[in-house]
Amino acid sequence: MSSSPPPPRPTPQGEIPWEEASDVIGYILSIVIGLLVLLVALGVRRQRLAAQAIKAAKAAREARDNPPGVVPKRDLLAVEKAAKVLGEDTAPFLATLLSCGVLEQLSKPCTDGAVKAVKKALGARVVWPDEPASVAAAGALLYAHLRADELPAKGVWPRAVKDACEYAREAVVEASIRLTRHAFDASCKDGSLVAAQSLLRLLACERLGLHSWTDPACLAAMDARLEANGLPRPQLKASCSASSWMDASASSVMAGSVIIVRATIERQHADAAAAAARSGATSFERKMTTLKGKAVRVCESYTCIVGRENEDGKTPTAVGTMEIDVGDVASPMVTGELKFSAPLQPGKYKIKLIVASLAVLGVEAEASTTIEVTPGGAFDDDDDDLDDYQ
């Protein structure tokens, strides 16, 4: 006779079976874990939103401090410093220019692939030093402008970023011109005459999209543009004189007084330019001037740098710059004047005039004159007692 299994032990009233208790514990744990995950997610989201807010505030502050079209002050100071030590070779200045923060920002659309495409197209014609990616991008965009005639006719930018790179190129070129112009102006204020002339030439190259002031290929490209527009190449002869501001006939000035330099530019191509104008040719200049009370378009404009021999007799110093515009295309001669303070050291000084065009590559003329600086009169405080004003 087989025995039957014992009956199940009755569960005391209020006691939960083990299987049900484990389910409850798992349920509670899942709720706790879910809450923890939710808290972590909320914390991460809060951090992300905070980071975005900080980034937006920083961008707004930078936009306020550096509005569109305004170059940051740190970049202006950097090119000023580079201009102080610049000689005839502009490569060191270009290195400083390409490392400016504004060019780094404007170059962001230029991808690594675009940089490689420009380097491949130009090859050894450009020295490509090891440099950060941002500087390499700025260099690729600027050299794509300066050596545009050497790039493939079909273009060099990868198709996916073609428009973005072209817009970035235009922005980089505009910023480069502004920075170079600032460095040129700084060098003309009691700076190096050599640096001022080098920067003026570089400025012309940047504006014209040609990489060299003297390279025969660049000059030929400029001549081709002139011929296509029916314009003659300007032929200039410069001369200058220096005298006291108070007496134009005086051959000497007192130390510390005012010297006035009168510059004269002979336009030996005036007849050819007038004939070209009659045939419908238009100038490359985009300036306006006033002639006989009427606003007329400038047919030619020349930037003039005035320098003087320094007290040591060796280092030429730039003392100022002026623009001489040609309003009448048939005018054989134009003039301009510039005033500056005479040296404090008496002696005979050589004054140098450099004339150059920013619209036609390679157009330049120079002239020089001398002036005697004599010791200034003694200053007596008793003479300035304001009696005449009582």
Domains and CATH numbers, the chain: 73-208 (1.10.3380), 228-279+297-374 (2.60.40.3880)
pLDDT for 255 beyond 80: yes
242-251 long-range contacts, CB within 8 A, separation 24+: 242/351, 242/369, 242/370, 242/371, 243/371, 245/339, 251/371, 251/372
Q: Give 33's pLDDT tier (boundaries 50, 70, 90).
A: confident
Q: For residue 297, what pLDDT is reported?
A: 73
The whole-number average pLDDT for the span 137-165 is: 92
**pLDDT band of 16, cuts 50, 70, 90:** low
| 151 vs 7, more confident | 151
Give 208's contacts (C-beta < 8 A, 6+ positions apart): 222, 359, 361
pLDDT mean over 269-295: 78
193, 307 in Cβ contact below 8 A?
yes
Tokens 């600032």, located at residue: 182
What is the pLDDT at residue 8? 57
pLDDT at position 382, please? 43
Assign 72 a pLDDT band (cuts: 50, 70, 90): confident
Among 66-75, 303-312, 331-340, which is the least confidently predicted range? 66-75
More confident residue, 376 or 226: 226
Please name the residues in contact with 79: beta carbons below 8 A apart, sequence gap of 6 or more: 93, 96, 97, 100, 179, 180, 182, 183, 186
**pLDDT, tens digit (0-9, with 9 covering 90-100), for 321-364:** 999 999 888 999 999 999 999 988 899 999 999 999 999 999 99
- Lowest-pLDDT choice from 9-13, 17-21, 40-44, 79-83: 9-13
pTM, two decimals, is 0.77
Residues 6+ apart with CB under 8 A from 291: 327, 328
Instruction: Give the model's pLDDT for residue 48.
Output: 82
SS3 207: helix
Residue 19 has pLDDT above 90, yes or no: no
Q: What is the dihedral of CA 80, 81, 86, 92, to 10 degrees?
A: -100
pLDDT grade for 52, boundaries at 50, 70 and 90:
confident
Look at residue 13 and tell me whether its pLDDT is greater than 60. Answer: no
Q: pLDDT band for position 2 (50/70/90)? A: low
Mean pLDDT for the stretch of residues 244-259: 86
How does residue 239 score in pLDDT terms, banded at 50, 70 and 90? very high
Residue 6: per-residue pLDDT:
61
Cα 68 to chain centroid, rounded: 14
| Rounded mean pLDDT, 133-156 | 90
- Mean pLDDT within 131-153: 90
